[in-house]
Chain A
């Protein structure tokens, strides 16, 4: 490895790693630990944590409850419009967050497409906690659904067919065969979805605003605090790092058989889709 080429490779690796690690380490060491803990106890930080946990929990629960059956249906049926449908699911993934925000306003805002209908029902979504949930679902949901479609597609149809001939109805086949075999891909997709959701900024600030204790999530609070109280911004940043790292580790520890279709444990290489 002492060849010029080897040295260059080593340097590049060292440079890349330090560049990626430095800002994360800096969040934790820029100020003394005591100050960091104080920052976490700041009312703005506590409020933001509560709002984030509530909205994330509701949004992710809805994404999984609705997204899983939808993905299963799309994955297990062949129909003409399928590529179109899958593209529709993928579109929010590549949209700039600001476009997502304006789209949500145009659909659910007071003067939006469904605004009148919602008004009649006495519902107003923008600038409420529900708006945060909507923004997260719209921006992050596709990560889960797209991965879930791939995960269900990679379940060998012979296995679900075998379950049927062994007397299992569609429901038992789903829960006993398809779901466990797809769980690795579902978990990986959900981790990405969660990460994207917890970092949601652009669509949320446009559609839900940044009201402390109501719609101000951790990500929004970092931005708002950084020129008011840098310590608090750092503390909130530290919380986000800890939450994200925890989710990443949890998904990597999913039992190995569920990932039998993919040799690597990376979350970011999309499951082979056919």
Chain B
């Protein structure tokens, strides 16, 4: 299996996109807010955008090398690109869409993606989930060596999205192709990819396994993007080797991370416990506040308390009988309080 090597440097509206990364037989997700230059990366690999400077190579095959003056047209690069809104050809039926890139495997692909019964339908008559399957089948009909997915789940409603996410994860596993996907949703990235790169304004802030990003976010942006609560404060060495952080609302919090000066304190919602009275537990950080909102999410409840968002089980929420407007105590351990540089 060949490795996809990428080095891109390209000016976009108000910043430069620069990326240097290699993909083996794995899925890499680039995740970042809209307009971070994610789609441009995919377009540059596919040959739909010529970067100012860059090199794209699959193993020995060089697709683009601006210095050597090499630039293969899109049709000569072995990529399967799934567009954000799928870009199905509206005037062709599903069979012709899938067969556009290669006819030999059409029946097999229609079968595999459970769209055989839709072979004669036009894209306009399909549901979001069906369109996504047609787009994937079409991209794979040419037996690409690299798979590129642009926001593969963003065009789907919440219900379909959860199902398709699972199916897509299995598919990517089965295919075992170097796959680059871009998304603005960290959860999607974490569910689908082996490695996740957080990209903002064209720059990769941190690249690693999703679990590593959660365990040690490189900076405040990565922390809040991966779902952490971010509090601002001033840090200084405290007692017992802990770092004491005086938060902007004068509350004092403690962290096992070292730090000093202006910092961000990141804590994930699932690391926060809630109690009605003073909690007699091992957590050193207690933040009192009013329950501002309660949002049930399946078997969990997302509770906003003061400046924090906590995620507790639905059972706990029921036992505590939480109601909006009540005062509760949110606790988290010093080990869960990560100090991150402010970006």
Q: Which residues of A contact B (CB under 8 A)?
A: 156, 158-159, 161-169, 176-177, 180-181, 257-258, 260
Q: A165-B80, A167-B102, A258-B91 are contacts. A158–B74 as well, Cβ < 8 Å? A: no
Q: For chain B, what secondary structure do more than half of its interface residues adopt (helix, strand, loop), or is it mixed?
A: loop
Do B87 and A161 touch (CB < 8 A)? yes
Q: Does B79 contact A (CB under 8 A)?
A: yes
Do A159 and B48 touch (CB < 8 A)? no
For B48, the closest partner residue in chain A by CB is: A161
As a 0/1 sequence over residues 89 to 108 of chain B, the CB contacts with chain A under 8 angstroms (1 = contact) are: 11100000000111000000
Q: Does B138 contact A (CB under 8 A)?
A: yes
> In the complex, given contacts A162-B81, A166-B101, what are 7 additional A-B residue pairs having Cβ atoms less than 8 angstroms apart?
A162-B87, A164-B46, A167-B75, A168-B100, A169-B75, A257-B90, A258-B91
The residues of A that contact B77 with a CB separation of less than 8 Å are 165
Task: Compute how far the CA of A163 lies from the CA of B73 in the bound complex, rounded to whole angstroms.
Answer: 12
B96 to chain A, nearest CB (A): 9
A17 to chain B, nearest CB (A): 36
A167 to chain B, nearest CB (A): 5
For A181, the closest partner residue in chain B by CB is: B91
Task: Compute how far the CA of A162 lies from the CA of B90 in the bound complex, rounded to whole angstroms.
Answer: 12
Do A167 and B87 touch (CB < 8 A)? no
The residues of A that contact B73 with a CB separation of less than 8 Å are 164, 169
As a 0/1 sequence over residues 281 to 315 of chain B, the CB contacts with chain A under 8 angstroms (1 = contact) are: 00000000000000000000000000000000000
B167 to chain A, nearest CB (A): 22
Do B83 and A158 touch (CB < 8 A)? yes
Q: Does B232 contact A (CB under 8 A)?
A: no
For A173, the closest partner residue in chain B by CB is: B75
Q: Does B2 contact A (CB under 8 A)?
A: no
The residues of B that contact A260 with a CB separation of less than 8 Å are 90, 124
The residues of A that contact B100 with a CB separation of less than 8 Å are 163, 166, 168, 176
Do B47 and A166 touch (CB < 8 A)? no
The residues of A that contact B48 with a CB separation of less than 8 Å are 161, 164-165
Q: Which residues of B contact A (CB under 8 A)?
A: 43, 46-48, 73-75, 77, 79-81, 83-85, 87, 89-91, 100-102, 122, 124, 138-139, 141-142
Do A167 and B89 touch (CB < 8 A)? no
Task: Compute how far the CA of A257 lies from the CA of B121 in the bound complex, rounded to whole angstroms.
Answer: 13
The residues of B that contact A176 with a CB separation of less than 8 Å are 100
Residue among B73, B83, B87, B101 with the most chain A CB within 10 A? B87
B112 to chain A, nearest CB (A): 18
Do A166 and B138 touch (CB < 8 A)? yes
The residues of A that contact B142 with a CB separation of less than 8 Å are 166-167
Do A158 and B87 touch (CB < 8 A)? yes
A46 to chain B, nearest CB (A): 42
B171 to chain A, nearest CB (A): 19
For A177, the closest partner residue in chain B by CB is: B89
Q: A158-B85, A257-B122 are contacts. A165–B91 as well, Cβ < 8 Å? A: no
Of B84, B90, B138, the residue contacting A181 (CB under 8 A) is: B90
Of A156, A158, A165, A258, the residue contacting B75 (CB under 8 A) is: A165
The residues of B that contact A167 with a CB separation of less than 8 Å are 75, 101-102, 142
Do B102 and A156 touch (CB < 8 A)? no
Do A159 and B87 touch (CB < 8 A)? yes
The residues of B that contact A168 with a CB separation of less than 8 Å are 75, 100-101
Do B91 and A162 touch (CB < 8 A)? no
Task: Compute how far the CA of A181 lies from the CA of B124 in the bound complex, rounded to whole angstroms.
Answer: 14
Task: Compute how far the CA of A16 lies from the CA of B26 in the bound complex, rounded to whole angstroms.
Answer: 69
A250 to chain B, nearest CB (A): 20
